[in-house]
Amino acid sequence: MKALIKLSGLLLIFFSACNTFRQESYSLTEKIDSLFATVPDYSGVLLIADKGKPIYHKGFGYLNFETKVPLDTTSLFELASVSKQFTAMVLMMLQEEGKIQYDDLIEKYLPGLPYPGITIRHLLNHTSGLPDYQQIMDEHWDKSKVASNEDIIAYLIQYHPEKLAEPGEKYEYSNTGYVLLASIAEKTSGKDFVEFCDERIFKPLNMMSTAIRSLSEKAAISNFALGHMYVKEKQRYIRADSFPSSNYTIWLGNRKGPGRVSSIASDLLKWDRALYTESLVKKETLSQAFAPAKLNNDSISNYGFGWDIQLSPELGHVVRHSGSNPGYKTHIIRYIDIDKTVIMFSNNDHEKFEVLLNTIEGWLPESKTP
């Protein structure tokens, strides 16, 4: 009897070990495929690269939930606030060229703004204390018109909303700051911001599907993934642009700096690869983008120039950024020390976006290529 019990125990351990081995031997592709199978209504694209080589790149869902046209890995998405890293790069280029200095006061370039003591560096790392321009525009702007940076600046001057903090006092995410950065870039470069990004970043990196597009330009692209939101009353996904009065991407459609870049995942991988080189700016310049900011009280804020910064015991130096527009969620993560990249898009603002992303991140340290 004792021998039989001992044998049963050994068999249990053996089969348990076999099961564990099978789970651990699953490729990353199998794991992720199984994960997305649990959320069949997810719509978007996921790209994972190891040292620049895609090891997972798939699309899910639809360009348009009404027509059921499927999307694929070449579909274009709104990047939303992931766009801020391109704005920051423009300012880094201008700094290298001697056209700006990070500690210049913004009134040097944008006179009339009623917020003294703010520098370009404060704008880049979200420590300016500026109020939210979108709130003022929402209250006062005629939404039958499309607002530009000049309109936003004029309304900040006219209505003078109260600042949120003193410059350098604390981190406070600010779309307003990145609007001002784009306007400063135009004034100091003598170039339209859209043209500058195209000529100095997108074309040199062969990011041929990436641009800052107008509403009409996006509408003309057949494989543009339209943003959708789930409407409980109708039990289905509805196009986000079906609600124009509440869709700021329409009536703020000419703003530059905080968003509006649209792209494909493989283009963002080209961007990722360029950031390991000096093809755009020197490494010394770029290092500031990935370094934390120091506040007035000498404490640290973990936001650089267009990037959130974190240090992971397993993954080392990690820089990342998320984005959100009506109907869209986006994220790019660069694991600099181990040279892995995760790019994830959704065009149905899926409620499990963060859960999926966090799960995938947890698999990266021991991930196996397909």
Q: Which residues are catalytic?
A: 81
CA distance 244 to 266: 30
Say how many C-beta atoms besides its own lie within 10 A of residue 107's C-beta.
14
Token output for 197 = 């990004």
Mark 156-194 as b/e (b = at least 16 C-beta within 10 Å).
beeeebebeeebbbebbebbbbbbbbbbbbbebbebebb
CB of 290 within 8 A of CB of 100? no
Find the helix packing angle between 84-96 and 175-189, rounded to 10°: 40
Q: What is the per-residue DSSP string for 123-184?
A: HHTT-S----HHHHHHHHS-TTS--BHHHHHHHHHHH-PPPSS-TTSS----HHHHHHHHHH
Q: Longest Cα pair distance anywhere in the chain, in angstroms?
A: 92
Planar angle of CA 282, 193, 101, nearest 5 degrees = 45
Cβ atoms of 113 and 289 closer than 8 Å? no
